[in-house]
A = this chain, B = another copy of it.
Amino acid sequence: MTGAMLPVGGELQGRIHVLPVRVYYEDTDAAGVVYHANYLRFCERGRTEMLRAIGVELGEVQARDNLVFVVHTGEIEWRRPARLDDALTVETALTSLGKASVLMRQVVRRGAQDIVRFNVRVACMDLATSKATPVPDHLRTKFEAFVGEV
């Protein structure tokens, strides 16, 4: 399935969320390819839309619970360059759910090709203290149905 056929915010395909992302000039650099740090922007869009798809709005979480999900550690492979006008997809999966953090696996693809692979631990942080804090139960319940190996 190509990115162009997906809805604007992407969709869940089983436990995996798939988001279409188009490459614009803003994403590229003078080497003619997507600037490496911008894949992390694409991946954040993927995580955000996956959460939205399972009923979690990050802005609401920040406003109501005074907490944010912050990236904590990540391993990233830039495997192939993407280029201007490419229609990419970002695949996002929840691979495990800890007390105060979530492990996610993300792949940026162009059709069948892996462009970037990103394994990231996202921690739940209390905005008042800037400290890690347990994932609240109302979010944990929503996450649980989507956790698993992929």
Contacts and interface: CB of A to CB of B under 8 A. Distances in A.
Given A7-B8, A37-B37, A70-B78, A25 B20 contact: no
A81 to B, nearest CB: 6
A95 interface: no
List 8 tightest A-B contacts by C-beta distance, closest first. Answer: A28-B30, A37-B40, A59-B85, A59-B84, A25-B29, A31-B68, A36-B71, A26-B41
A13 interface: no
Contacts of A33: 30, 70
A137 interface: no
Given A8-B6, A31-B127, A37-B41, A25 B58 contact: yes
A3 B9 CA distance: 10
Interface in A36-85: 36-38, 40-41, 44-45, 48-49, 57-60, 62, 68, 70-78, 80-81, 83-85
A30 B84 contact: yes
Contact of A22 (B9, B68, B71): B9
B35 A25 contact: yes
A77 B85 contact: no
